[in-house]
Structure 1
Amino acid sequence: MNSYDVAVIGSGPGGYVAAIRCAQLGMKTAIIEKYATLGGTCLNVGCIPSKALLDSSHHYEDAIKHFEEHGIDIPGDIKVNLEKMIARKQSVVDQTTSGIDFLMKKNKIDVYQGIGSFKDATHITVAGEETTEIEAKNTIIATGSKPSSLPFINIDKERIITSTEALKLKEIPKHLIVIGGGVIGLELGQVYKRLGAEVSVVEYADRILPTMDAGVSKELNKVLKKQKFKINASHKVKSVERVGDEVVVKADNKKGEEVEFKGDYCLVCVGRRPYTDGLNAEAAGVKLDERGRVEVNDHLQTSASNIYAIGDVVKGAMLAHKAEEEGVFVAETLAGQKPHIDYNLIPGVVYTWPEVAAVGKTEEQLKEAGIAYKAGQFPMRALGRSRASMDIDGFVKVLADKTTDEILGVHMVGARAADMIAEAVVAMEYRASAEDISRMSHAHPTFTEAIKEAALAATDNRPLHV
């Protein structure tokens, strides 16, 4: 039987990063993955493939809508080759997952393919082509999450689908009904909207992106409607039925009236659930909470002292980069170091176009907490860089403490917001004030000038370009 200092169950961004950091710190490490490729949901059927399709569809939309205005004339009709687009997406996935294989070999991490389940707190059975057993002094659970559904929905993976199936459709839907106005639904909805589908979003909450700042939600809602999305907030879905090649969705609106949606595909994006199937956690003395998450303390330690859990399987935002931070945190804890994670400074991003990004507190959270704050906002359309690229939708909003001027939250909608948010994270990590940002030189012309201008607006209401 092979023995290890650390065994990691699950090879998503949390798991494989944890394994690499453990190996870097001198621990003999094994990683267990039930699928044939490493990388988990993110690399195989999540972040990476969805961004590949978002980029491809963005190029197509630019070609049919914007090239002429840029002075680019293309003779003949521009057509979508969906099969080729999906194949390119898969090649990106293959390159990325093979990169993880390389990193495992480079760091001398043993890879076991199969379902890892606890025999007890220090022994794990791996059921693959053959069943093997390993011994681990410490274990990190990084088994991730799976798409959730509603109890009355039968996901047939053909017409009633999850995000996994949406990444490999054989045809462009005529009318895609998206249940859920969160990150995944809006991103994949935009992919197929650009390619020619009619898209209807049905959301239970009173707005899309209900967990983000209300101003951001309102702005993206306005932009998506301009892009011909049909957004139906405050709608409670009560039935989803397939009739041949048609899907009928019935929902009650906020007045209690029944509304019917008919389409050829229905994408169910109502969140994700922690995945612990087959883990046999109880055999190791690991407790789960009422929502199926692994219970952990502030050190990400489970009820079994030598077993830790990270990522989507524990409480907190289900984000790949949050899982990575937790993986490094546990590895360094096991090495006797004293790492830290500030969960308030984990950014959230929506990769629609324009992109949405945020870090820190929303206005709603500050009001609820009774914190006196000031807000500065700057429109992207006032930037020379935005006009040059025709990306004029959106804004940057900086929230700062009314007394100390410390930045408490930054929220943005706009081109490259996913990249720009890092400036806000750095500023908040070092507890910068809005004035600090406003006095930093930002290159001109850039999108990031909007952050400086919003900080000027928050400091003493003196933005320069509006």
Structure 2
Amino acid sequence: MAIETYQNLVIGSGEAGKLIAWNLAKKGQKTAVVERSLIGGSCPNIACLPSKNVIYSAKAVSLVHPTSGLGVVTGSVRVDMAGVAKRKREMVAGLIDLHLGYFKSSGAELIMGNARFTEPKTVEVALNAGGTRVLRGDRVFLNVGSRATIPDVPGLAAAGPMTHVEALDLERLPEHLVILGGGYVGLEFAQAMRRFGSRVTVVQRGRQLLEREDPDFAEAVLGMMKDEGIEVLLQAEVLSVAGKSGTSVKLQVRVGATEKTLEASDILVAAGRTPNTDRLDLDKAGVELDSRGYIRVNEKLQTSAADVWATGDGAGSPQFTHVGFDDFRVVMDNLNGGNRTTRGRLIPYCLFTDPELAHVGLNETEAKAKGVSYRVARLPMSFVLRTRTLSQTRGFARALIGDDDRILGFTAFGAEASEMLAAVQTAMVGGMPYTALRDTIFTHPTAAEGLISLFSSPLSKPKA
């Protein structure tokens, strides 16, 4: 079979992959992108944007709640899950059309199929439409992403559990949804499905939800979940599963020293990610993997093979679309003669429950483990007047201040916490002292205005 040669061969059309392809193609370089199924990657199709779309539908339900809503009098409220799914699908369809337009205008060729390496910088593509093509790139960029991990629990895989992919397409309301995992995906779905009307149980192996967060923030999120009627089992291990998700399932669970049986209609697995590197025959390309199956890269995202780069989840980058975008910038800057690296990146993230949890930099647990000297600024979110206009005063914010008055880290759990986060991160990037935010004139009444109160509060030394 004849080999087709390109200057740039991109495997995967996720955030970094598509941007690399579009930018190089616009320079007049012959560029091909091989995509297995999701045009534009997971974010616009099955992850970030679709999940926030569904979460917003769930928020609409909460806003007309007869006791905790906003005083809006309605008739009986009914959730139309088919309508929720339709709204999500319409958004995704629009985003796919947008991506196809970018591929066309850039000149990058989009090839739908599964790629496997046959030798360095050469792949055989089993086309989705049938047939095969063999492609070789002078330069190769791997952007293969990850997928939901199905834990090795007897009976779980056979039960056909949902992942976030199937959950976002539900046109029915699960009677009782058991969610395996108390991380970001699990908690966002837990709250949304509970607000739609499902009974929800979260099974978390660890001692707390959100294992990376400081215990008091994890405890605050746990309180919110319980207040919304969500059952949370901590230090819980699923021993076995019987039945079929979507119909009827039984989960044998050990909680501490006690075993119990959970009877439910559906299971959603949100227990981590597996890199999609096992589908590529990367050994034939000379591309090394680490012990967890992620592509081994240096700080410039170069792999062990010459002229081959890897970006995004598959390269072990933090699993956020905004990190994928920065991976693109690292690669492109260096291709253009720069010297950009992934070293020392300040990466923010948000849990988009209602209210939100937003974080950037060090938290107290990390600072203590690293022996970093810091002082603490803390503020109840009820002191942020914006939260009172929204009738959402739950939560608190905390900032860690270094000896030189620079901000080391920030975490907030509360309404519009992500908006506060952006202002703090900007100050951190600029190396500004906390007093710059304290003395800024912010618009009233915004969430960012609460930073004045936060950084005007007395700074305290951390508790032992």
TM (normalized to structure 2)?
0.93
Correspondence for 1:440:
440
Runs of 5+ unmatched residues, structure 1: 462-466
What CA distance in whole angstroms lies between the structure 1 residues aligned with 2:103 and 2:139? 19
Runs of 5+ unmatched residues, structure 2: none
Q: Which amino acid aligns with 1:160?
A: P
User: Kindly tell me: are residues 427 and 173 of structure 1, through their superposed partners in 2, closer, same or farther at Cα, counting changes over 3 Å?
Assistant: same
Correspondence for 2:113:
114
SS of 2:251's partner is strand
Whether the 8 Å CA contact 1:17–1:327 is kept in 2: the answer is yes
Correspondence for 1:410:
410
User: Kindly tell me: are residues 118 and 177 of structure 1, through their superposed partners in 2, closer, same or farther at Cα, counting changes over 3 Å?
Assistant: same
What CA distance in whole angstroms lies between the structure 2 residues aligned with 1:178 and 1:68? 26
Correspondence for 2:423:
423
Q: CA deviation at 1:4?
A: 2.6
What CA distance in whole angstroms lies between the structure 2 residues aligned with 1:269 and 1:303? 32
Correspondence for 1:464:
none
Correspondence for 1:95:
94
Correspondence for 2:268:
267
1:127-142 mapped onto 2 (5 Å cutoff):
127-128=126-127, 129-142=130-143
1:27-46 mapped onto 2 (5 Å cutoff):
27-35=29-37, 37-46=38-47
Correspondence for 1:80:
79
What CA distance in whole angstroms lies between the structure 1 residues aligned with 2:154 and 2:161? 8
What CA distance in whole angstroms lies between the structure 1 residues aligned with 2:39 and 2:144? 12
Correspondence for 1:305:
306
Q: CA deviation at 1:363?
A: 0.4
Give % identity: 28
SS of 1:64's partner is coil
What CA distance in whole angstroms lies between the structure 1 residues aligned with 2:436 and 2:459? 9
Q: Which amino acid aligns with 1:380?
A: M
Correspondence for 2:391:
390
Q: CA deviation at 1:373?
A: 0.7
> Greater shift after overlay, 366-375 or 96-105?
96-105
Correspondence for 2:240:
239
What CA distance in whole angstroms lies between the structure 2 residues aligned with 1:158 and 1:351? 29
TM (normalized to structure 1)?
0.92
Q: Which amino acid aligns with 1:289?
A: D
Q: CA deviation at 1:277?
A: 3.4
Correspondence for 2:348:
347
Quote the RMSD (CA, aligned, Å): 2.1
Report the number of matched residues: 456
What CA distance in whole angstroms lies between the structure 2 residues aligned with 1:66 and 1:260? 33
User: Kindly tell me: are residues 341 and 452 of structure 1, through their superposed partners in 2, closer, same or farther at Cα, counting changes over 3 Å?
Assistant: farther
Q: CA deviation at 1:215?
A: 2.8
> Greater shift after overlay, 359-368 or 164-173?
164-173
What CA distance in whole angstroms lies between the structure 1 residues aligned with 2:50 and 2:158? 18
1:46-445 mapped onto 2 (5 Å cutoff):
46-65=47-66, 69-70=70-71, 72-74=72-74, 76-128=75-127, 129-154=130-155, 160-242=161-243, 245-254=247-256, 256-341=257-342, 344-401=345-402, 403-445=403-445
What CA distance in whole angstroms lies between the structure 2 residues aligned with 1:31 and 1:231? 43
What CA distance in whole angstroms lies between the structure 1 residues aligned with 2:349 and 2:378? 19
User: Kindly tell me: are residues 216 and 253 of structure 1, through their superposed partners in 2, closer, same or farther at Cα, counting changes over 3 Å?
Assistant: same
SS of 1:337's partner is coil
> Greater shift after overlay, 17-26 or 105-114?
17-26
Whether the 8 Å CA contact 2:62–2:195 is kept in 1: the answer is yes
What CA distance in whole angstroms lies between the structure 2 residues aligned with 1:260 and 1:196? 22
Q: CA deviation at 1:24?
A: 5.0
